[in-house]
Amino acid sequence: MDAHSPVSLFFRRLCTVTALAMIAYHFYFIVRLPYEPSINAIIHLGFAFCVLLLAELSARVRPVEILCLIISVAVTCYFFHEYDVILDDPTYPPTMALVAGIGSALVAFYLTYRVFGYIFPVIAVLGIIYMYFGSALPGALKAPSMDVMRMITLLASDVTSPWGLYGSLLILSANYLFLFIIFGTMLEAFGGLKFIMCIGNWAARYFRSGAASLSIFSSALLGSITGSTVANITVTGTFTIPLMKRTNYTPEQAAAIETAASCGGQILPPVMGATVFVMSGFTGIPYISIVKASIVAALIYFAQLLIYAELNARKRNILPMKGEPVDIRAMLLSAPVFVIPLALLLILLFAGLSLMKTIFWCIISVVAIGVVCNFFQKEKLKWGAVIESTVRGAVSGSQIAVVLALIGVAVACVEVTGIGMRLGTFLVSLSMNNLFVLMVLTAFTAVILGIGLPSPAAYIICATILSPAMVKMGVPLLQAHLFPLYYALFSHLTPPVGIGLMVACKMADSDYMKSAVEAMKAAFPSFFLPFLFVYAPGVLLLDKTAAADAMQVCAAVVFFFALAIAMNRYFACRASLGVMGLILCGFVTEGVYLADPSRPVLMLAAGIVCTVAAVALNIVQARRLPPQTA
């Protein structure tokens, strides 16, 4: 059916109304707290089902989606209206609750397949199969015996269980994640994106990498609040990728830089794509502790990415952007919309306000400040675009809700059968109790598990399956959770899937495999970064003293700087063998120091001296060459 037909238009308008009603309901829940979290999760998932199904129906009307819509409304109404009756029923759960649970699970499977593909439904199905037939398996693979009724109860019908479709992951989505995604889209809708672009434009005028630095700065700031690499690429890549191509970057380099920068936005505090709040709720580690530990590592990631862009700009003789001057007035007027809500977020959390109410007041502040700033701006807000952006945020939040609900099913299978602990034991034994081997295995597994998933979902899977194995080997809890998260996010830019890179390649009209090679060049140094979390905790500001933290951060900066020069064989000009020898000496020396920071500080100093000497020698060589040769 035509997307512009009266029927499609009806469903599109109904989707808009439902999405806005979903947001209004969440605001009402925060202000009044009329229900317990489990009931809130039921309503949240019901809204998410309806929003996504109406979005699908507005593009193309399919009978299966109309059927799913009817099931979604019926199941949500049943669980909401009969909640107390279900809990008081001595035959808990009653037969009708089992039927409703099956219906809700089928809708979750269908929508997850439509939005994210077949990978997660297949994982959930394999978990269910193992849960049922695992009792017949021998040895360590043997699972507890379980009948069908008990399985349905645990996986879909028990609306009070911490596991399953309506478990703690869905509650996280209902209480925090959905609101943070709305917060991000509100920032974009009310002009926060203008400030991000002004900052990027300002930086691009002072770096040789020009348009690439614009991409890195804007994607970092926007990516921190969007929670999605793909969403970030589609917003910032629309203008940064064509601009990079016009300033002499190859299409493959443009796609790679945009993807790597957008991916890195998910690890940049204070929001970290909302994953930080999931991690805090999952581990019990305070939000502030996670942010404090993550900030230096995130800055190192973007610093090495900027070095890659700068070195390529020098090799291709790209000059800083000298186009239209940055509109200081526009930047100052748009700054409050971005800066004040983020500052308010930190202030309220430090003050001890609950996370739900903190997000609520941050959203209110965005709207209020955006409306006030609108009176002084030349380009006025378009309320139709604001509503469209808000609805888009509700759709994104609904996608996260549905996939987390289905992940809840997979997590229930892991927890109930005990396969998670056995998998951890298997990984430890496979590594022969060698921590480095275990970390390599964890990194590869995390890349596979993170394929195609938004950062909160990728984190939950890794935290459930991989982090316990690292904790078992003595890795502290925070490092054990940050380590696999980074590699799960790297799956967005690595073959064979690299879903973020695929989107960027389409926008850049570039070859996928060549772009993948460039993306690996851009981000490859960062593949070492999570290993430093364990071996050199000072990178996370977690060592015993501030001096130890400072030395390890210094060593890490020199390590990545030397590695970038070595990979490109270029700084001021093409590096000679002598320069390469010195730079490799600096890289290896700092790497050895970081592997065991208890080694003498002279090793740190030696690495710095070798690197500085290599850079100085390369600059001298460049000055002796004709300008066109350098």
Comparison of pLDDT for 325 and 164, the residue scoring more: 164
d(CA 119, CA 499): 13
Q: Which of 233-237, 336-340, 575-579 has the highest mean pLDDT?
A: 575-579
Query: Is 80 exceeded by the pLDDT of residue 25?
Result: yes
Residue 558's alpha-carbon distances to 35, 142, 540, in angstroms, are 53, 49, 16
pLDDT in tens, 397-421: 899 899 889 988 988 888 888 877 7
Q: 518 burial class (0-12, 13-18, 19+ CB within 10 angstroms)? A: buried
Q: 379 burial class (0-12, 13-18, 19+ CB within 10 angstroms)? A: exposed
Count each helix (H run) and each strand (E run) in the chain, helices first: 29, 0
Whole-prediction pTM = 0.79
The answer to whether the beta carbons of residues 185 and 392 sit under 8 Å apart is yes
Mean pLDDT (the chain) is 86
End-to-end CA distance of the chain: 59
pLDDT tier for residue 141 given thresholds of 50, 70 and 90: confident
Comparison of pLDDT for 299 and 92, the residue scoring more: 299
d(CA 200, CA 221): 9
Cis peptide before 496 (omega within 30 of 0): yes
pLDDT for position 421: 73
d(CA 513, CA 519): 10
Give the pair of three-digit tokens for residue 266: 């998910």
Give the pair of three-digit tokens for residue 462: 């890794």
The answer to whether the beta carbons of residues 243 and 320 sit under 8 Å apart is no
Mean pLDDT value of segment 328-342:
82
The answer to whether the beta carbons of residues 305 and 261 sit under 8 Å apart is yes
Mean pLDDT value of segment 23-28:
96
d(CA 177, CA 202): 32
**φ/ψ bin of 36: left (φ > 0), alpha (ψ from -120 to 50), beta (otherwise):** beta
pLDDT tier for residue 503 given thresholds of 50, 70 and 90: confident
User: Percentage of the chain with pLDDT > 70?
Assistant: 95
d(CA 437, CA 428): 9
d(CA 31, CA 357): 8
Mean pLDDT value of segment 554-580:
91
d(CA 478, CA 489): 17
pLDDT for position 195: 79
Query: Is 80 exceeded by the pLDDT of residue 22?
Result: yes
Q: 19 burial class (0-12, 13-18, 19+ CB within 10 angstroms)? A: buried
The answer to whether the beta carbons of residues 184 and 232 sit under 8 Å apart is no
pLDDT for position 449: 73
Q: Which of 134-148, 434-448, 538-552 has the highest mean pLDDT?
A: 538-552
Q: 411 burial class (0-12, 13-18, 19+ CB within 10 angstroms)? A: buried
d(CA 276, CA 273): 7
pLDDT for position 30: 93
Using CA atoms in the order 222, 228, 229, 231, what is the torsion angle rounded to 10 degrees? -70
Query: Is 60 exceeded by the pLDDT of residue 323?
Result: no
Query: Is 60 exceeded by the pLDDT of residue 161?
Result: yes
pLDDT for position 4: 66
Looking up tokens 């020009």 gives: 210
Mean pLDDT value of segment 244-258:
87
Residue 5's alpha-carbon distances to 35, 57, 60, in angstroms, are 40, 12, 10
SS (H, E, C) 147-177: CHHHHHHHHHHCCCCCCCCCCHHHHHHHHHH
Comparison of pLDDT for 462 and 102, the residue scoring more: 102
Within 8 A by CB and 6+ apart from 287, the residues are 276, 277, 280, 349, 355
Query: Is 80 exceeded by the pLDDT of residue 206?
Result: no
pLDDT in tens, 163-173: 889 988 899 88
Give the pair of three-digit tokens for residue 79: 């669980």
pLDDT in tens, 41-57: 999 999 999 999 999 99
User: Out of 37-41, 212-216, 405-409, 544-548, which region has the weakest mean confidence (pLDDT)?
Assistant: 212-216
pLDDT tier for residue 157 given thresholds of 50, 70 and 90: confident
pLDDT tier for residue 446 given thresholds of 50, 70 and 90: confident
Comparison of pLDDT for 314 and 204, the residue scoring more: 314
pLDDT in tens, 57-87: 998 888 999 999 999 999 999 999 988 877 7
Looking up tokens 């389409």 gives: 506
pLDDT for position 202: 75
8-state DSSP, 538: G
Within 8 A by CB and 6+ apart from 462, the residues are 446, 449, 450, 481, 484, 485, 487, 488
